[in-house]
Structure 1
Amino acid sequence: MERSNNSKSKLPHYVSSKIHPSNDPETDHNSYSLEKFRLYETRQRFYLVGSDRNKQLFRVLKIDRSEPSDLNISEDPVVYSPQEIKNLLQRIAEGNRATGGLNFVVKAYGIAGCIKFLESYYLILVTKRRQIGFICGHAIYGIDESQLITIPHVSVQTDVAHSKTELRASMVFMATKVKILVLMNKVALKLLTLYKKLLSSVDLTKDFFFSYTYPIMQSLQKNVTSMGEDGMPYDNMFVWNAYLTRAIRSRCGNTIWTIALVHGNFKQIRLSIFGRDFSVSLVSRRSRHFAGTRYVLV
């Protein structure tokens, strides 16, 4: 059971109130979480701008779009203020004016994963969320909508039917080769459609939940005793998208861009007994390694 006036002082630092810093210039920029994101695009790159809950601190993740089959991600080490991030986006727009400028793509609330189908990489973004409860003052969210974003620009996506190698082929075999390549393209498109359909069959809007600041994949007792740990424990067996987020986490060296999804159910009710308010939370979690559901009463 969780009392409404429960103190956070006994919780590890990665779930403390420091995760949402103030405007204090001495704030430790490594002790916050990114909760709100805006995705922008140019011909060469995606720019994912993340901010803390109060929109006072901003970070930038750059995703290269010039490679059809490689994932090149770089994290800008600078922590920007609201005015600084506005100026940065203006400079990017001016620098890319000749190739279409900087365009807004979508508003998001975190990266659920990055997946590769056949050749190209795709970004899985949570575009709508809903708050479903609190634990120790930390918000727990469910997913309302998600979106699959193709990373490579359309101009660099491979079209083998028009590759330079084939154009240099002899005219004798050209017709036959073109027919084979067209057939291969059709098969690849069917496979790509099948893979996307299989991914979309996993409905992230049902039975998935997450928190930016509280490791919901662990028990309350574990969180109280796990002092000194940094970042979300993605190696936990209850983190459903550990593999999908591994590429981004390994390249950035942190977990602030991704959200750790738990597959199961979260139910919370508030009660009052003799004038004292408290909440009861029932959390069920499914392991990504073993069948069956694990329940936790908080």
Structure 2
Amino acid sequence: MKPLHQRLNLYIEGDEAYNFVPAEPVGARSLTISRVTGEISLNRPNTTLYASSERYHKPVYGILGLISLSLSEYVVILTGRELRGRLMGHDVYRATDFEVLPLNPNISVSNPPHPVENHLLALLRSHWTGGQFLFSYTCDLTRRLQAQWANAADDGRKAMWEAVDDRFFWNRFIQTRLIESVTPDQDLSAFIFPIMYGTFDIRPAFIHGRHIQLALISRRSRYRAGTRYFRRGIDQDGNVANFNETEQILLVEGSAHAMRDPNEFAAKLSFVQIRGSIPLYWAEINTLRYKPDLQVMEKHDTANAMRQHLQKQVNTYGENSLVNLVNHKGHEKPVKDAFERYVAEVALPQVKYQYFDFHTECKHMRWDRISLLIEKLEPDLLRHGYLHLDGSSPEPVKVQTGIVRTNCMDNLDRTNVVQAALAKWTLNKQLHSLGILPENATIDDYEVLSRDFREMWADHADQISKAYGGSGALKTDFTRTNKRTKKGALQDGVKSLQRYLKNNYFDGPRQDAFDLVTGSWIPRKNPSSSMFLIADPRPLITRSVCYPSIKC
């Protein structure tokens, strides 16, 4: 895969241009963005800068892209990063600091000349500083291990932005201008920097003389992205809200006595799951009551939209096992009934449906009864398998041929518990097959590995929940300790209150920021025509309500 520049020096040529000069290799072609015309051009090697150019006071670790607001186009740059770990020899970073640079020299980002522009800049900053954005310069974080293995022969000729999974290329919209500027004579690929919204964790362990590493990655789709009450269900293209792909990777080094490269592994194993909103047209409407009003819209194209969604997942992952965790009575019942009705109508041969009444089966804190669901899914899990690459063979020992798609109402709390249970079941199977664990043992018999597994999945649950629901996940006391506790139930009450407040009073601007960055909404060039963004004459209670025709 073509390399990315890992560090740039920015030189500002007054009101004329921004010049991005690679720190390494010395003499590499620099990139100029004209502040007059907006033109993007690649310079000749060793191009000399004007003497009047001033060096920017911060290092630049990547160009996230360009975005046009009401009064100017802006360059968004990454100026801070934090190393989160090494995955198979590749550094993985979290983005920590960003800057926004105006092309229009008459615009000050600290004191914009119009309140609408100020509001849009605030949305832009809040989005980039409030999310969990991950990247690597040398490996593709957006694609699961099996997809990378299957396309390895083609990847060597591609730039990273050409190879990434489009669903998880979070800054794809604001990279459009750079991508459209690529020509045979002007290859900007080293500057086109994909970033992913998700989670990443990796931890080492030592069991029976074998060094292993356990990694967990989640990838959030940029399609139908947003917040809990403002993005529900499906759209006409088959995209669902809160879609996340989660991959658990097990890396096993060679025997303890063998000489080894720390970046080489005797075995690489991967298990992938997905989650996403129930693929119907539905919404929960904020009324400031604790329980919002539920609406299931019976549209003429509901079956077609669901068919598109499920067929996409089958084309990508193989057989789909749909696990539905919503309640069979009360507030959630209409969604359950509609989901089952349309799954039966669509009737795709590679899609299976499994209902599990989570709250009934696990009441009185009997969460060990999730084992009942795993028993029902075991034939599917065995048939789907997982990816197993052996370092001594060019062909995989096995590949994953199907996937479990789990949902509850929000695809957060119940979904997290079930996905962690399926991941543990699979990890035990993998360690047994490698001979690292005896058949009668599980990871729960090894305190350090068990603790790391639980913490990874609980942290992962919290981060997905914060991105969509505004608070940490509920029920993580079970994930962290293998027990449901009264203290955990009390903490869940506090988190539920946080969600209520954020979802009802603060998620409107968060949703606007999602729409702005992903290109779902594009600002008008006349800021006066967008005054509705900052001046709403309606009463506060009315403004707090989400209207399906506008946002949902």
TM-score of the superposition, structure 1-length normalised?
Answer: 0.67
Match in the other structure for 2:178: 248
Aligned CA distance change for structure 1 residues 254 and 224 (closer, same or farther; 3 Å): farther
Q: What is the aligned partner in structure 1 of residue 69 from structure 2?
A: 117
AA of the residue aligned to 1:58? A
Once the two structures are TM-superposed, the CA of residue 200 in structure 1 deviates from its matched residue by 1.8
How far is the alpha carbon of 1:235 from its aligned partner? 5.7
CA distance in 2, matches of 1:205, 1:258: 22
Quote how far apart the aligned CAs of 1:234 are.
4.8
Alignment of 1:169-188 (within 5 A): none
What residue in structure 1 maps to residue 196 of structure 2? 262
- Compute the displacement of 1:77 (Å): 4.4
**Letter of the structure 1 residue corresponding to residue 104 of structure 2:** P
Please show how residues 82-161 of structure 1 align to structure 2 within 5 Å. 88-89=48-49, 92-93=50-51, 101-105=52-56, 106-154=58-106
Distance 2:88 2:39 in 1: 38
> Which of the pair is proportionally richer in helix?
2
CA shift for structure 1 position 240:
0.8
1:215 to 140, 144, 150: 140
2:35 match: 65
RMSD in angstroms over aligned alpha carbons?
Answer: 2.1
2:12 is aligned with 1:45: no
Number of residue pairs matched? 217
| CA–CA separation in structure 1 for the residues paired with 2:248 and 2:13 | 47
C-alpha distance in 1 between matches for 2:211 and 2:165:
35
Partner residue, 2:120: 195
Deviation for aligned residue 1:32 = 2.8
| CA distance in 2 between partners of 1:193 and 1:123 (Å) | 16
Deviation at 1:248, TM superposition (A): 1.0
CA distance in 2, matches of 1:56, 1:274: 48
Residue deviations 1:29-56 (CA, integer Å, cap 9, x gap): xx4321001110113221111244xx44
Partner residue, 1:231: 159
Q: Identity across aligned pairs (percent)? A: 24
8 Å CA contact 1:143, 1:206 repeated in 2: no
What's the CA shift for 1:57?
Answer: 5.6
Deviation at 1:209, TM superposition (A): 0.2
- Give 2:170's aligned amino acid: W
Q: Secondary structure at the match of 1:192?
A: helix
1:64 deviation in Å?
0.9
Task: Compute the displacement of 1:201 (Å).
Answer: 2.1
Match of 2:299 in 1: none
What SS does structure 2 have at the residue aligned with 1:141? strand
Stretches (4+) displaced over 4 A: none
Q: 1:57 to 1:283 in 2, by over 3 A?
A: farther
The alpha-carbon deviation at position 132 of structure 1 amounts to 0.6
- Partners in 1 of 2:122 and 2:211 — Cα distance? 46
SS of corresponding position for 1:59: coil
Aligned position for 2:6: 35
CA contact (8 A) 1:145 1:205 kept: no
CA contact (8 A) 1:235 1:242 kept: no
Question: In 1, are the aligned partners of 2:142 and 2:165 still within 8 Å (CA)?
Answer: no
Which secondary structure does the structure 2 equivalent of 1:242 belong to? coil
**1:218 to partner: Cα distance:** 0.3
Report the structure number with the largest CA radius of gyration.
2
Q: How much does 1:205 deviate? A: 6.0
Amino acid paired to 2:177? A
In 2, the alpha carbon distance for the partners of 1:199 and 1:64 equals 22
Indicate the residue corresponding to 1:3 in structure 2. Answer: none
**Structure 1 or 2: more strand by fraction:** 1
Q: How does 1:281-292 map to 2 (within 5 A)?
A: 281-289=215-223, 290-292=240-242
My pick for the range that moved more, 224-233 or 126-135, is: 224-233
Quote the Cα distance in structure 1 between the aligned partners of 2:30 and 2:188.
13
The SS at the match of 1:247 is helix
| Offset of residue 291 of structure 1 | 2.0
Q: CA deviation at 1:284?
A: 0.8
Q: Is the 8 A contact 1:37 1:51 kept in 2?
A: yes
Given the superposition, is the C-alpha separation of residues 271 and 110 from structure 1 closer, same or farther in structure 2, using an over 3 Å criterion? same
Q: Would the aligned equivalents of 1:234 and 1:242 in 2 still touch at CA under 8 Å?
A: no
User: 2-side partners of 1:66 and 1:203: how far apart?
Assistant: 26
1:172-212 per-position Cα deviation (integer Å, ceiling 9, x unaligned): xxxxxxxxxxxxxxx97111011111112214464110111
Partner of 1:176: none
Residue 381 of structure 2 aligns with which residue? none
Confirm or deny: 8 A CA contact 1:111 1:257 kept in the other structure. yes
Structure 1: stretches of 5+ with no match in the other structure: 1-13, 15-30, 94-100, 158-186
Unaligned runs of 5+ in 2: 224-239, 250-552
Q: What amino acid does structure 2 have at the position aligned with 1:220?
A: L
Higher relative contact order (CA 8 A, sep 6+): 1
Report the TM-score, using the length of structure 2 for normalisation.
0.37
Q: Quote the offset at 1:254 in angstroms.
A: 3.8
In the superposition, relative to structure 1, how do residues 282 and 248 fare at CA in structure 2: closer, same or farther (>3 Å)?
A: same
Shift of the 57–291 alpha-carbon distance from structure 1 to 2, 3 Å rule, reads farther
